[in-house]
C-alpha cells in the first residue's frame, strides 16, 4: 500500500447515515483503522426502521474494531442539528480528518415503476442525499482546512451515468459527483481533498430484504460487496501520499481497492462494473 506516516493522534471521522447499510460498514472499517468515528443517523432504537440498526449499535462495532465510536442522533434534513454535530467535533478535537457523506432518504426510490407512479417523497433524496452532503461539507471544511489535510467522500454509484432506480436517484448520484469535483477545486490550496466513491451492489440489510422478496430464481447471484470494503478503501486513500492526485474525481471503489491492494472482508477483490453499468469518463491514469 502506498501510504504516509503522520505524527498525530488517531483519525477523526464523521460518517453520516451510519445506523445501517453502507454507512455502518464504512464506520466499522474506519474504526479498524483506529479512528474516532462520529456515527450519525436517525435510528436510536431497533424499531425505528424495518431494517433494524441504530447509531448505538454501529458505535459499538467501531469500538470492537479498535476505534472509538461516538453515536449521535442527527436528522440531516435539519441544518441546525448538523451544525451542532460539527460544533461537537470542534469542541472535542478541534479538527476533522474524514467526512463520509452517506445519509440519504429513500422513500419509494427503488420501486420498479415510473417516477410518476412513485410517491413524490422519492424526490426527498435530493434534500437528504444531495443538499445534506453540501451542508455537512460546509461545516466540515473549516475543521479540515485548519489541520492542513482532510478528505470529503460522497458515496456514489454507477447510477450517475446509467439508468438505476430512476431520475431522482440518478440526479442525486450525478450531483454528488459534480459537487465533489467543484469542492475539490476550491479546497485544493488548503490540502483538503474531495471525491465521489462509487460502490457496487452491497450486502446490506435493505438489499437482503429486497432479494428475499423476489420470486424463486429471480434474485441475481453475483457476489455483493461488504459495506466494510468501502471503508477500507477510504482509509487507504486518506493514508496515501497520492491523495491530492485523486481529489476531484469520481472513483470506482473496486478499481481503487485493486490499486491500493485492499480486499473485502473475505479476502476477495470486488469486481468493477465499469464495463456493464458504465464509469466515470476520465478515470485516474493509475486506474486505467
149-199 confidence digits (pLDDT tens): 999 999 999 999 999 999 999 999 999 999 999 999 999 999 999 999 999
Here the cell at position 140 is 466540515
State the Cα–Cα distance between residues 15 and 235, nearest whole angstrom. Answer: 13
pLDDT in tens, 214-265: 677 665 667 789 999 999 999 999 999 999 999 999 999 999 999 999 999 9
Question: Which neighbouring-strand residues pair with 38?
Answer: 14, 70
Instruction: Please give the C-alpha separations between residue 91 and each of 94, 140, 188, 200, in angstroms, as whole numbers.
Output: 6, 13, 25, 36
Q: Which of 162, 159, 168, 170 is nearest to 117 (CA)?
A: 168
Q: Is residue 36 very low, low, confident or very high in pLDDT (cuts 50, 70, 90)?
A: very high
pLDDT at position 7: 40
State the Cα–Cα distance between residues 116 and 166, nearest whole angstrom. Answer: 10
pLDDT in tens, 20-32: 899 999 999 999 9
Residue 108, C-beta contacts closer than 8 angstroms, at least 6 positions apart: 118, 119, 121, 122
pLDDT at position 220: 63
Here the cell at position 263 is 480486499
Please say if 169 is a catalytic residue: yes
Contact 280, 251 (CB under 8 A): yes
pLDDT at position 50: 72
DSSP-derived 3-state class of residue 195: strand
Helix (H) or strand (E) holding 101: strand 98-101
pLDDT in tens, 77-132: 999 999 999 999 999 999 999 999 999 998 998 888 999 999 999 999 999 999 99
Contact 37, 31 (CB under 8 A): yes
Look at residue 47 and tell me whether its pLDDT is greater than 80. no
Sheet architecture: strand order including 150-156: 68-73, 36-41, 12-15, 98-101, 150-156, 192-198, 250-252
State the Cα–Cα distance between residues 75 and 132, nearest whole angstrom. Answer: 10
Q: Which residue has the higher pLDDT, 35 or 202?
A: 35
Among 169, 190, 238, 259, the one annotated catalytic: 169
Q: Is residue 203 very low, low, confident or very high in pLDDT (cuts 50, 70, 90)?
A: confident
User: What is the domain partition of the chain in residue ranges?
Assistant: 12-267
- A 10 A CB-CB count for 109 gives 21
Query: What is the overall mean pLDDT for the chain?
Result: 91
Helix (H) or strand (E) holding 98: strand 98-101
Q: Which residue has the higher pLDDT, 272 or 50?
A: 272
pLDDT at position 45: 82
Q: Which of 67, 66, 84, 64 is nearest to 75 (CA)?
A: 84
Superfamily of domain 12-267: NAD(P)-binding Rossmann-like Domain (3.40.50.720)
Amino acid at each position: 500500500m502506498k501510504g504516509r506516516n503522520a505524527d498525530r493522534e488517531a483519525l477523526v471521522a464523521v460518517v453520516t447515515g451510519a445506523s445501517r447499510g453502507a454507512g455502518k460498514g464504512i464506520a466499522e472499517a474506519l474504526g479498524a483503522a483506529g479512528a474516532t468515528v462520529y456515527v450519525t443517523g436517525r435510528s436510536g432504537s431497533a424499531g425505528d426502521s424495518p431494517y433494524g440498526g441504530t447509531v448505538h449499535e454501529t458505535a459499538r462495532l467501531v469500538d470492537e474494531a479498535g476505534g472509538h465510536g461516538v453515536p449521535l442522533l442527527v436528522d440531516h434534513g435539519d441544518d441546525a442539528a448538523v451544525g451542532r454535530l460539527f460544533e461537537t467535533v470542534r469542541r472535542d478535537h478541534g479538527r476533522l480528518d474524514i467526512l463520509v457523506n452517506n445519509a440519504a432518504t429513500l422513500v419509494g426510490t427503488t420501486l420498479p415503476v415510473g417516477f410518476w407512479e412513485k410517491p413524490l417523497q422519492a424526490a426527498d433524496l435530493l434534500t437528504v442525499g444531495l443538499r445534506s452532503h453540501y451542508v455537512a461539507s460546509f461545516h466540515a471544511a473549516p475543521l479540515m482546512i485548519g489541520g492542513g489535510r482532510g478528505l470529503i467522500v460522497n458515496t456514489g454509484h454507477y447510477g450517475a451515468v446509467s439508468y438505476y432506480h430512476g431520475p431522482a436517484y440518478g440526479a442525486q448520484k450525478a450531483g454528488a459527483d459534480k459537487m465533489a469535483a467543484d469542492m475539490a477545486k476550491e479546497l485544493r490550496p488548503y490540502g483538503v481533498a474531495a471525491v465521489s466513491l462509487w460502490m457496487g451492489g452491497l450486502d446490506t440489510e435493505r438489499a437482503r430484504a429486497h432479494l428475499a422478496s423476489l420470486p424463486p430464481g429471480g434474485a441475481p447471484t453475483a457476489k455483493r460487496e461488504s459495506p466494510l470494503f468501502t471503508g477500507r478503501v477510504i482509509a487507504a486513500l486518506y493514508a496515501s501520499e497520492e491523495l491530492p492526485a485523486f481529489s476531484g474525481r469520481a472513483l470506482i471503489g473496486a478499481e481503487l481497492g485493486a490499486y491500493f491492494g485492499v480486499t473485502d472482508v473475505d479476502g476477495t477483490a470486488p469486481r468493477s462494473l465499469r464495463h456493464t453499468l458504465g464509469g466515470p469518463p476520465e478515470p485516474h491514469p493509475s486506474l486505467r
